[in-house]
Amino acid sequence: MSRHPEMSEGISSRLSAVQNDWQKLLELSKQRKAALQAAHKQHKLEENLEELRDWVKTTVKRMKDMELPSTVAEAEAAIQVLI
C-alpha cells in the first residue's frame, strides 16, 4: 500500500469486508455444527428407542410363547431365560 497510497482506502475497505464476511462464516459454521450435533443426538435417541421397541416386542412374544411356571423356581428360571 505504500507504493500506491491512492489504493489504500479501497484495499482497506475490501479487507474490512472480507474480515466481516469471515466472521459471519465462522458464526454460521458454529450454528451449523450445533444443528448437526443436535440432529445426531436425536438420531441416536431414535435409534436406541427403536432397539428398545424391538427388544420389548421380542420379549413379550417369548413370554406369551412360554408355559406359565407352576413353582417359584420355574418362574425364576423363566425370568433368566428372558434376560
**What's the whole-model pTM score?**
0.62
Mind listing the pLDDT tens digit for each residue in 47-68?
A: 999 999 999 999 999 888 888 8
- 5: Cβ contacts below 8 Å, ≥ 6 apart: none
Backbone angles phi, psi at 12, to 5 degrees: -60, -40
d(CA 10, CA 17): 11
Per the model's pLDDT, the better-predicted residue between 5 and 70 turns out to be: 70
d(CA 48, CA 55): 11
* Residue 2: predicted pLDDT: 67
d(CA 23, CA 20): 5
Average pLDDT over residues 25-44: 98
